[in-house]
A and B are shown apart, each in its own frame.
Chain A
Amino acid sequence: EPEVTQTPSHQVTQMGQEVILRCVPISNHLYFYWYRQILGQKVEFLVSFYNNEISEKSEIFDDQFSVERPDGSNFTLKIRSTKLEDSAMYFCASSEQASGGDTQYFGPGTRLTVL
């Protein structure tokens, strides 16, 4: 069964450093998403992406964040200057469509720790 994959599984970085989290969505899916989950808290939407542009973003997704689809398979989330409060599990998800009953399938996540 096709799966969303993410790398790395764990990332430790120093405050102020840039990080890039990588995702490979399911191959026939057209819509891509990033969510984050701070330890012990709810899953929070960051951004959705379709047709090489952001279609929706939350208040969390400020100028420190960016997303890119650099090639036909990868989808990346960049945090330019990490802060302590960016420590969280970051989940990538993808869906075939954006409406109806179309399901968002989640990857295994990248645990980001900012020191």
Chain B
Amino acid sequence: GQNIDQPTEMTATEGAIVQINCTYQTSGFNGLFWYQQHAGEAPTFLSYNVLDGLEEKGRFSSFLSRSKGYSYLLLKELQMKDSASYLCAVRNNAGNMLTFGGGTRLMVKP
């Protein structure tokens, strides 16, 4: 089975840095994705990790430790528009299905 855990909500201040954690226990592993989802909208792709380490993409970075079943998404220089839900999703070995966590709702305050 697949189990993916993320905090339900986080609050941060504009201009600050926030780290959103994700832990997973899955029957297989073939990559971890982070998506951003604004309320009522579709998930949009942010980052992908399949090997251990840090992937950096502008203000967003994502880290993976396969041995620990752990990932985090780091958002720097927070902007008000970053207020959204951030979804951690794991692809298993068997195919291309993504299993999503419940999402972390981030609120950025002035």
Chain A interfacial positions (CB closer than 8 Å to B): 31, 33, 35, 41-45, 48, 55-56, 58, 91, 95, 98-101, 103-109
Contact = CB atoms under 8 A, between A and B. Distances in A.
Contact of B48 (A44, A98, A101, A107): A101
A108 B40 CA distance: 9
Contact of A106 (B44, B101, B102): B44
Interface string B75-105: 0000000000001010000111111111100
Interface of B: 30-31, 33, 35, 41-45, 48, 50, 87, 89, 94-103
Residue from A33, A42, A56, A98 having most chain B Cβ neighbours under 10 A: A42
Contacts of A31: 96
A42 B101 contact: yes
B41 A108 contact: yes
Nearest to B37: A43
B103 A91 contact: no
A108 B42 CA distance: 5
A79 B30 CA distance: 31
A95 B102 contact: no
B100 A95 contact: no
B64 to A, nearest CB: 12
B105 to A, nearest CB: 11
Contacts of B48: 101, 103
